[in-house]
Every structure is written in C-alpha cells, then in structure tokens.
Amino acid sequence: MTDTASATAGIRVTTSPRVSYRAAFWGLMVRDTKVLSRSLTQFLLRTVIQPFLFVFVFLYVFPNIGAGIHGPGVASFGTVLLPGLVAVAIMFQGIQAVGLPLVNEFAQTREIEDRVMAPLPTNMVAFEKILFGAMQSALAAVLVFPMVLFFPNSNVHPHVNPVLLVAEIIVACLSAGALGLAIGTGWNPRQVPLIFSLIVIPITFLGCIYYPWASLHTIRWLQIVILVNPLVYVSEGLRGAITPNLQHMPWPVSLGVLILIGAGLAWLGMRGFRKRVLG
C-alpha cells in the first residue's frame, strides 16, 4: 500500500508557490471570462441602458420640450454629462458585477467555496474579484464613452488627455471593483433593496455627474458633504482627462483621494471576504 500511496503523492505537480498562485489566479480569471462571455447580452443591457436613457432624456427629450438644461458657462450639458456618465458606468459595474453576485454566493449558493479552496491565498481570490470587476468596469467605460460622445445633438467637445484618461480609468475601475467587494461581503440578500436606496441612488445623484463639483460653491455645505462620495473623484478626474475646459478638481487631488478611497475599500472588502470564508 505504501508504494501505491507514494506513487499517488508523486503524481502531484510540485511547483514553487509563486508559480502555483499565478496559475490558480489565471484559472480564476479564465473561468470568470467564460462566465461573462456567456452572459454578454445581459452585461450589455445592464451597462448601456441606463446611460442611454440619461442622454436620451437630457439631450433629446428635454431640449425638445423646451426644458433644456445647460452646463455652466458656455459648455453644453452633453459636455458635463460625458465624463459623469462614464464615471457612473464604471462605478455601477463594480456593484453589479462584483457586489450583488457575491451577496448571493455567500448567502445562498456557497459555490464560492470551490474557488476559495484553490491553492492560492484567500486574499488573492478576493483580489481576483476586484480585478475582474475592474475589467468589466473598463469595458463599460469603453461602451458608454462613444455612445454619449456620438449621441445626436450631444454637442460635446472633448479635449482628451490620453495618459491621464488611462490612469483615471484604471484607478476608477479598481476602486469600483473594491467597492463591489466591500458591498458583496458586508451585506446580506435581505438588504439588497437597501443597497439601492442607501448607496446606489445617493452616490449617483450626489456624484457630480450632472454638474461639476466647483459649481456647487453656492451650496457650500453640500459641496463639502459629498466629498465622502468616491464617485465625485471619478467624475471630476474624468472631467479633467476628457473635458478639461470645464471646471474640475486638479488631477493629483481627484486621483490621489480616489487611490486612498479605493485602497480603503479594497482593505475592507478583503477583510470581509476572509471573514465570510474562514470560520
């Protein structure tokens, strides 16, 4: 029996931890990509419909009924909306692609256990969630950007700073994934409606999507209170990268604070993840 046993043990591929972690991490990414590709239609619908309705109502319906909204100064409202809608698409992808599915996996299906038992540190399983969520956020940004830009009558005049745009998008997407992880590990299915009323709606309406942060100076208290909202820094950062002629926070501020918030959310999410999977 000893011979057979040692033979069985010998079959196992023994590699260095770093190589095996990398292989396992890659395996998780491949699995998630496959699952996403299967539900691509669903992904497209949930990504595109909301921003489409925004531009449709604000840039088509309102002007046509004589209730047009203008941006500050001479800027068109489309110019204000473009970075804002890209920002909200990025942020929501984190909640929809990472947060809500995790809430269910932890509470009901327990299927996450298989991936938790893969031979890599639990933190890396959690980070894979953030990273894959970030990739979906980036995809959402790529879809929403041209849709708003080329919407008839949008009248947007972007002056894109490509390097800053890429940096802002990377940090924003990772932060969105981290927000999703923090929500997914911190809330239970009964609280899902609350996620919408307490998180989704407030961060959207108070996320500097429809107005630059600087234009809030007339309501000073609100301008200060919404600084806790990560979406503010995403919108303002993207504004600086896409439509810098509109007022925006200086990029080191928006990017810097977003990195801090993202890191905080990632820490919270990973801690929550470990708590949920380890007894």
Q: Which residues bind another protein (CB under 8 A)?
A: 1-9, 11-13, 15, 17, 19-21, 23-24, 26-28, 30-31, 34-35, 38, 109-111, 113-122, 277-279
For another protein, the closer of residues 31 and 157 by Cβ is 31
Whether 58 contacts 69, CB under 8 Å: yes
Provide, rounded to whole angstroms, the least separation between the CB of residue 107 and another protein. Answer: 12
For another protein, the closer of residues 88 and 120 by Cβ is 120
Provide, rounded to whole angstroms, the least separation between the CB of residue 190 and another protein. Answer: 20
For another protein, the closer of residues 30 and 166 by Cβ is 30
**Helical segments of the chain, H only:** 2-11, 17-38, 40-56, 62-64, 77-93, 100-104, 112-116, 122-149, 162-186, 192-194, 201-205, 220-225, 230-242, 251-277
For another protein, the closer of residues 68 and 119 by Cβ is 119
Distance from chain centroid for Cα 233: 13
For another protein, the closer of residues 30 and 224 by Cβ is 30
Provide, rounded to whole angstroms, the least separation between the CB of residue 2 and another protein. Answer: 7
Picking from 87, 99, 132, 103, the residue whose alpha carbon sits closest to that of residue 229 is 87
Provide, rounded to whole angstroms, the least separation between the CB of residue 4 and another protein. Answer: 3
Provide, rounded to whole angstroms, the least separation between the CB of residue 20 and another protein. Answer: 5
List Cβ neighbours of 148 (8 Å cut-off, separation of 6 or more).
51, 55, 78, 81, 82, 85, 86, 154, 156
- End-to-end Cα distance, the chain: 35
**The two three-digit tokens of residue 112, written as one number:** 């996450």
Distance from chain centroid for Cα 69: 28
Provide, rounded to whole angstroms, the least separation between the CB of residue 46 and another protein. Answer: 16
For another protein, the closer of residues 16 and 218 by Cβ is 16
What's the Rg (C-alpha) of the chain?
A: 21
For another protein, the closer of residues 118 and 176 by Cβ is 118
Provide, rounded to whole angstroms, the least separation between the CB of residue 15 and another protein. Answer: 6
SS (H, E, C) 171-232: HHHHHHHHHHHHHHHHCCHHHHHHHHHHHHHHHHHCCCCCCCHHHHHHHHHHHHHHHHCHHH
